[in-house]
Structure 1
Amino acid sequence: MIVSRLDAQGEDYRLRREAMLAKLADLDAEHAKAVAGGGEKYVERHRKRGRLLARERVELLLDPDSPFLELSPLAAWGSDFPVGASVVTGLGVIEGVECVIVASDPTVRGGASNPWTMRKTLRASDIALRNRLPLVNLVESGGADLPTQKEIFIPGGQVFRDLTRLSAAGIPTVALVFGNSTAGGAYVPGMSDHVVMVKERAKVFLGGPPLVKMATGEESDDESLGGAEMHARTSGLADHLASDEYDALRIGRGIVRSLGWRKLGAAPGPVREPLYPAEELAGIVPEDLKIPFDPREVIARIVDGSDFTEFKSLYGPSLVTGWARLHGHPLGILANAQGVLFSQESQKATQFIQLANQTRTPLLFLQNTTGYMVGKEYEQGGIIKHGAMMINAVSNSTVPHLTVVMGASYGAGNYGMCGRAYEPRFLFTWPSAKSAVMGPAQLAGVLSIVGRASAQARGLPYDEEQDAAMRALVEAQIEAESLPFFLSGRLYDDGVIDPRDTRTVLGLCLSAINSAPVPEAQGFGVFRP
């Protein structure tokens, strides 16, 4: 068992905790923007129409007192679109079945899909497919946000492609239609396995009355063109006609109950709480990420019984590797200790990943890395081939991966520690995280050196004042673009989470992962470094 050396009464801990709590207050404020949807005016208008809000629909659909892990709540942060991207996505339990839920937010531009809505929806579909989770769409959308159609139309077809691929894989798709589902949005119920429409509310058509008038000259009304009763009685698109929203949610729960769905993965063992309180996770990461911290202190507060069997503890000490359980699920953990990855750490990681694949054990990557070590000694020692070996192992590992970015995530270290490009099943960041090609000062310094060398080669004087201004500008830009809100807004993670919730979030993800069967083993044994 890990023996914690964290001094929760010390000054360092107090300062770290205060800095983290300030970041969490900022996070709460940004989450509140997503919850607010289109704002008070449009929320009130929606309520006056007798309709439930997106999150109210989700809450009523889920089993009472069951958790809902919202995904990508900061999508579109820093863009021209409202935080949240006019859609709510997440993992929830319906009639005892873990499902992916996608709920349009009609208070934001009528639920119209913008480029970030599309990306967020596609991510939800990907999670459903890779983890074998039924997908439930709560639909009320005006289709594409027309001013940005050039960014939506071509790639947006993936939304409908994914629905058909889920169905082909035997993963149920359910659409509960509460209001408009027009233009391309009509294909969501059109391509779902089960469709419920709310009487006198749902409107599903490829083109509404104005478009039909323009295209064909035909006069029509909403109900005859695409109303719920018409689709239930005439077109056959609706499988169930609900009397109101509550009835639609009741029918939706019944559909999921009737699936007879069961998990195909490994069942978890007994659960033991960690020996140390999760509350202390708020005071572990320093405000200055140049200051190292021991990731064992994090591991001790998230794994069952704080029990961690370390692998190669004396070799490659900048990377901590070992075995544990989390909410009863076996887990292999790779955690950066000193930030830099050397050749020994790379070889150690490669062997450890292969061992996890031999035993079909999921892997958790706890990132705090400045990347692979540079310099003549390390280049001659083979850092490129050893780093490539680690990245190869991560790329071709077939067990589920989970990633949490606790601190720095720079350079190829982001790749070797299973960043977004390496398709972990889920990836979350802490408010303390930063990610970029390299640190702001280093990047600005490289540009300065290149500029200085260029001027010298041309025999020109170098403007030191302009160089200082350039460095300051570049550092400010990279700092802003390295922050977790910016990265989460672009869906480079599945959400920024409170460190104290890490064990719960990972437990929910591990449970969801085990809806799918254990992946097949790879074709090679373990190559010792």
Structure 2
Amino acid sequence: MLRSRADLRSEIAQKNREANLASLAKLEKSLAKSREGGGEKYNARHVEAGKLLPRERVERLLDRDGWFLELAPLAGLDIQGHAPGASVVGGIGVVSGVECMITASEATVKGGAMSEYSVIKSGRLSDVAEQNGLPSISLIESAGADLPNQSKIFVPGGRGFRDLTKRSEERTPTVCLVFGSSTAGGAYIPGMSDYVVMVKKQAQVYLGGPPLVKMATGEETTHEELGGAEMHSRVSGVSDFLAEDEEDAIRIGREIVAHLNWKKGGPPPSSHVEEPLYSSEDLLGIASADVRIPFDAREVIARVVDGSRFSEFKPLYGPELVCGWAHVHGHPVGILANNGILFTSCANKGAQFIQLCNQSNVPLLYLQNIVGFMVGRKYEEEGIIKAGAKMINAVSNSTVPSITIMIGASYGAGNYAMAGRAYKPNFLFTWPNHRIAVMGGKQLAGVLDIIQREAAAKKGETVDEQRLGVMKQMTEGLIDQESDPFFATARVWDDGIIDPRDTRSVVGMCLSITHTKPVQGTTSWGVFRH
């Protein structure tokens, strides 16, 4: 049982808390922008048309005692031409007792038209559904592609339709509820779903609307004649169920999920779940606002795992990487957490621990706060490249579910060794103190300074100190801006920024979701260099 040694009354803990609360206030403000969709004017117009707002549709679809884990809620934030949330509401929620991937068109933003970041976000949601074997429910009211930006959307956007058909082939059900006009690409989503529900006198699904049909063929027709819900329910067969109104469509959608007879492939959690000994509130004082200041990963683990119980692996060897077993909301989990820079011993220890967890089919939780691998002649002679390659090999080829929470720095190859986005963890969330880059701004600027000076010396030139100083300052500022967690989450480098106090709940939900599929480890690792 872990015993906390954190001094939460210290000056640094109070400063951490103040800084983290300020970051969380910024996060809430950004999330509020995402939740307001197209804004007051377009929301009012949507409601006046007798429609539910997209988030209201999601809320009514969910079980009353169920939960919803929203993913990439700030995609597109502060990127010119994109709305916060990228015109898509997406996440995993409980519907008729089944954890489902739910996506909803944000119809109050350009009629639900898909932007470049809508496609990127939708691709990530599709990856999560596929990786975790989740049934999916699409709540559609979409004008298709945002035509002025078609060059950024058309080619990658086709992947979404392929994903729907592949999921169907894999016997993972797809359900589509159509609430309004769904044109062009928006029409293919119901067309490629297993189950389709359309709302009477509201849903309109066609590849080309009346103006395009008239221009292409000369035929004059109305929206209802061309693609109305009744036509598709009675004539074309594109619709399987005709709903009287939106509430009825949601009811039918819930009934479809209830009739799936869905069963999870992974083992259930333990019936005995203990709360941690320590309050999650403490994490605001523990998490360093300045990622250059270290903090003990065990203090985080003690506030996340059941009963603060942690069985540590090789505690005396490679202590800068904390490894061990615990439970979170009754699910067994193997934890790898950074307590400093990665040395050769840490990498060897991490690789072995990942192998052991795969051997016993235990999911992995990475608590990432890493500035990279140790550099220097001594460490190169020790073979730190070999050891790092071994750990990255283990991370890459592991087949048990993995969840990454970035609780501090994420620099250099440390990002890779601790299951960064490129290594396809099932989920990846960040804390608001998180920073991500090749290296810190000061370090990168310093490296460029050395390179410039060496280049000048080789040419026999004098260094322009003023110019070099300006260049260093600009480089440092740019890296600091691009390593900001809001910059990262806007570009869907993660699945969202979370309140540190919610970490236990988020990890618990993620573990439950990953158990939709059987949890099966591997003993196949390719070649380890010795």
Q: 1:458: Cα distance to partner?
A: 2.3
Measure, in 1, the Cα distance between the counterparts of 2:115 and 2:509: 29
In structure 2, what is the equivalent of residue 429 of structure 1? 430
Measure, in 1, the Cα distance between the counterparts of 2:190 and 2:289: 48
The 3-state SS of whatever aligns with 1:23 is: helix
Q: How does 1:349-364 map to 2 (within 5 A)?
A: 349-364=350-365
Match status 1:476 vs 2:477: yes
2:390, 2:528 within 8 Å by CA — same for their partners in 1? no
Measure, in 2, the Cα distance between the counterparts of 1:376 and 1:106: 58
In structure 2, what is the equivalent of residue 442 of structure 1? 443
The 3-state SS of whatever aligns with 2:5 is: coil
Distance 1:374-1:527 versus aligned 2 partners, 3 A rule:
closer
Measure, in 1, the Cα distance between the counterparts of 2:461 and 2:210: 68
Question: What is the letter of the counterpart of residue 233 of structure 1?
Answer: R
TM-score, reference length from structure 1: 0.98
Cα offsets for 1:206-235 (capped at 9, x unmatched): 000111111111111101111101100110
Cα offsets for 1:488-526 (capped at 9, x unmatched): 111110000000000000100100111111225334799
Measure, in 2, the Cα distance between the counterparts of 1:502 and 1:152: 34
Q: 1:377: Cα distance to partner?
A: 1.0
Structure 2 alignment gaps of length 5 or more: none
In structure 2, what is the equivalent of residue 28 of structure 1? 28
The percentage of counterpart residues that share the same residue type is 59
Distance 1:361-1:528 versus aligned 2 partners, 3 A rule:
farther
Question: What is the letter of the counterpart of residue 237 of structure 1?
Answer: V
Q: 1:297: Cα distance to partner?
A: 0.3
Match of 1:294 among 293, 296, 303: 296
In structure 2, what is the equivalent of residue 52 of structure 1? 52
Measure, in 2, the Cα distance between the counterparts of 1:425 and 1:189: 27
Cα offsets for 1:127-172 (capped at 9, x unmatched): 1111111000000010001111111101111000000011011000
Measure, in 1, the Cα distance between the counterparts of 2:175 and 2:166: 14
Q: How does 1:22-421 map to 2 (within 5 A)?
A: 22-80=22-80, 81-269=82-270, 270-338=272-340, 340-421=341-422
1:354, 1:525 within 8 Å by CA — same for their partners in 2? no
Distance 1:54-1:382 versus aligned 2 partners, 3 A rule:
same
Which sits farther off after the overlay, 365-374 or 118-127?
118-127
Cα offsets for 1:439-486 (capped at 9, x unmatched): 101111112222222222222221110111111111111101101111
Which sits farther off after the overlay, 208-217 or 132-141?
208-217
Q: 1:65: Cα distance to partner?
A: 3.0
1:138, 1:178 within 8 Å by CA — same for their partners in 2? yes
Measure, in 1, the Cα distance between the counterparts of 2:527 and 2:218: 69
The 3-state SS of whatever aligns with 1:293 is: coil
The 3-state SS of whatever aligns with 1:371 is: coil
Cα offsets for 1:367-393 (capped at 9, x unmatched): 000001111111111111111111011
The 3-state SS of whatever aligns with 1:259 is: coil
1:199, 1:241 within 8 Å by CA — same for their partners in 2? yes
2:63, 2:97 within 8 Å by CA — same for their partners in 1? yes
2:360, 2:521 within 8 Å by CA — same for their partners in 1? no
1:355, 1:526 within 8 Å by CA — same for their partners in 2? no
1:67, 1:93 within 8 Å by CA — same for their partners in 2? yes
Which sits farther off after the overlay, 232-241 or 377-386?
377-386
Which sits farther off after the overlay, 369-378 or 188-197?
369-378
Measure, in 2, the Cα distance between the counterparts of 1:8 and 1:88: 38
1:358, 1:525 within 8 Å by CA — same for their partners in 2? no
Question: What is the letter of the counterpart of residue 187 of structure 2?
Answer: A
Q: 1:528: Cα distance to partner?
A: 12
Cα offsets for 1:35-57 (capped at 9, x unmatched): 01111111111111111111100
Question: What is the letter of the counterpart of residue 74 of structure 1?
Answer: L
In structure 2, what is the equivalent of residue 3 of structure 1? 3
Distance 1:520-1:279 versus aligned 2 partners, 3 A rule:
closer
Measure, in 1, the Cα distance between the counterparts of 2:523 and 2:192: 34
The 3-state SS of whatever aligns with 1:341 is: coil
TM-score, reference length from structure 2: 0.98
Question: What is the letter of the counterpart of residue 334 of structure 1?
Answer: L
1:351, 1:526 within 8 Å by CA — same for their partners in 2? no
Distance 1:209-1:527 versus aligned 2 partners, 3 A rule:
closer
Distance 1:103-1:353 versus aligned 2 partners, 3 A rule:
same
1:351, 1:528 within 8 Å by CA — same for their partners in 2? no
2:209, 2:223 within 8 Å by CA — same for their partners in 1? yes
Aligned pair count? 528
The 3-state SS of whatever aligns with 1:246 is: helix
Question: What is the letter of the counterpart of residue 179 of structure 1?
Answer: G
Q: 1:395: Cα distance to partner?
A: 0.4
The 3-state SS of whatever aligns with 2:158 is: helix
Measure, in 2, the Cα distance between the counterparts of 1:261 and 1:194: 15
Question: What is the letter of the counterpart of residue 18 of structure 2?
Answer: E
Question: What is the letter of the counterpart of residue 22 of structure 1?
Answer: A
Measure, in 2, the Cα distance between the counterparts of 1:173 and 1:291: 47
Question: What is the letter of the counterpart of residue 161 of structure 1?
Answer: R
Question: What is the letter of the counterpart of residue 234 of structure 1?
Answer: V
Question: What is the letter of the counterpart of residue 438 of structure 2?
Answer: V
Which sits farther off after the overlay, 444-453 or 251-260?
444-453
Which sits farther off after the overlay, 401-410 or 269-278?
269-278
